A and B are shown apart, each in its own frame.
Chain A
Amino acid sequence: MAQTVVVVTFYSRGGTTERVATAAAVGAVQARAGIRMRRLADADPAATIQRYPEAQESLTRMHREYVPPREADLLAADALIVGLPDGMTPASAECSGYFDMLARLGADGRLAGKAAAAVGSGATVDAIAGALSAAGLTVVTGDPRSTGDGTEAAIALGRRVVAAAESQRRAPS
C-alpha cells in the first residue's frame, strides 16, 4: 500500500491553532503517513496584519511559510485534518472558500473513502466536523484539547485519523 497522505489545513493568526495543527501532523507522521501543511489564506494579508498588530510577527511568518490548500491537495489526500481558532466557523471569511470547495468535491463523490478530523475546541470542532461529514468524509472524533495545551491529544488524533484512512483503503469497495 502506498504511503498514506494527510493534508493538514488550518487558520491561525497568533500561532496557537498552528501549534495544535502541527501536533496533529506529527501524530500522522508517527503513524508513518506523509503530510502536507496548508494555511487558509487571508483575503488581504496586509490588512489582516494591520487589524491584528499583536500578531504581526506570526502572521508575517505564516504568510511566508505556508501556501493555501488547492483542490489537488484534497484529491490527493487519504485523510484531511482541519483546525480553526475559537470563534471561527466554516462560514468565516477566511474559511468559506475552502469549505465550499470541500462541499463541491463531496457532492461530486470525489472525497468518498477519505477520513477526516477536526482540531480546535468546543463549538468550532463541532462545526468543522459537521462540514467534513456533510462532504462525505468519515470523521474521526476526539478532543485535542482534552489535556494540557492540546498537543498530546492532537498527536493522538493524528495517529487515529491515519489508522481510519488506512482501514478505509483496505476495505473492499
Chain B
Amino acid sequence: MITIRKSDSRFKADRGWLKSAFTFSFADYDDPAHAGFRSLRVMNEDRISPGKGFGPHAHRDMEIITYVLEGKLLHRDSMSGPHTMGPNEIQTMSAGNGVVHSEFNASQTEPVHLVQIWIEPSAEDLPPSYQQVAVEPSAKRGRLHLLAGPADSRQMPATTINQDARLYVSELAAGEAVSQELASGRHAWVQVVRGEASLNGQPLHEGDGASVSGEPRIEVTGGAAGGEILLFDLA
C-alpha cells in the first residue's frame, strides 16, 4: 500500500527568518494522524534567512540527519565544531545521552534550504556523535546512494546511525529509474526533495512524501524535469 503525503498538506510555519514545512508532528504542530512513520519521526523542509538560525539548544536520544539542498549551514555542538556544510554533504548527529548544538545559515547574503530528518534510535543513553561526509555528485545520479544506515549494513553507509533504517539519495533524469526490493516486513518512505518523480507509477511532486508498506518492490522514476529523492528503508 502506498499512502501519499502531499506537499500542500504539510504543516507550514513562518517565523519570518524561518519558513518550514513539517511532514510529521513537530514543535507546536501536533497531529496524531501524521506523527511519524515507523522509526522516522521528523521530516522538515526549512528555509533559513541569511545570518539567521537556531541558537544553542539540546537534544537527547534522537538520530538527527541534515541534507542541504542550497546554501551553507554552520553547525556547532558540545562535542566539536564549528563545521560548515553545503549541498552534496550529509550531516548525521546522534544526540545520544545529550548534546547541545546550534545551526545557523553560514551566509550573510544567501538563504539556506535544507531537509532535517529525525530517526528514533534503537536504544537510549548511547554516546553522542557527529559525522559529516561529502557525497560525490556522480554517486547519486541514476542510482541509490546510501547516506545513512546501521554500522552492520551490507553496503557501507556514508554515515552510521543507531537504528535499523537506511537512508538513500538518488538524483534521477527524466524517465530514469531506480528500484529497491523491500524485504518481508520492511517499509519505505520516499520524499521528493527536488523536481518530480513517480513511485510505482504514482506521480509525486516536490515536497511530496509517501509511505510504502506491503509492497515487495518499489521503483522510483524521474519526472519530466527530473528529480531528487530520499528513500528510507525502515523496519
Contact = CB atoms under 8 A, between A and B. Distances in A.
Interface string B47-71: 0000101011111100000000000
Chain A interface mostly helix, strand, loop or mixed?
helix
Nearest to A6: B58
A35 interface: yes
B98 interface: yes
A64 B82 CA distance: 15
A67 B100 contact: no
Nearest to A67: B55
Given A26-B78, A64-B51, A37 B98 contact: no
Interface in A13-51: 22-23, 25-27, 29-30, 32, 34-35, 37
B78 A22 contact: yes
B98 A65 contact: no
Chain B interface mostly helix, strand, loop or mixed?
strand
A22 B97 contact: no
B55 A29 contact: no
A30 B53 CA distance: 24
A66 B214 CA distance: 47
A50 B61 CA distance: 41
Given A29-B100, A65-B104, A22 B56 contact: yes
Contacts of B57: 35, 37
B99 A29 contact: yes
Contact residue range for chain A?
10 to 19
A65 B60 contact: no
Contact of A66 (B55, B58, B59, B98): B55
A37 B102 CA distance: 11
Interface string A121-142: 0000000000000000000000
A35 B58 contact: yes
Interface string A52-69: 000000000000111100
Contacts of A22: 56, 78, 100
A77 to B, nearest CB: 14
What are the nearest 5 A-B pairs in CB distance? Answer: A29-B98, A30-B98, A37-B56, A29-B58, A65-B55
24 contacts: A23-B78, A25-B56, A25-B58, A25-B78, A26-B98, A26-B99, A29-B58, A29-B59, A29-B60, A29-B97, A29-B98, A29-B99, A29-B100, A30-B98, A32-B60, A34-B58, A35-B100, A37-B57, A37-B100, A64-B104, A65-B56, A65-B102, A66-B56, A67-B55
Interface of B: 51, 53, 55-60, 78, 97-100, 102, 104
Given A22-B78, A37-B55, A65-B104, 13 more contacts: A23-B78, A25-B56, A26-B58, A26-B78, A29-B59, A29-B98, A29-B100, A30-B98, A37-B57, A64-B51, A65-B53, A65-B56, A66-B55
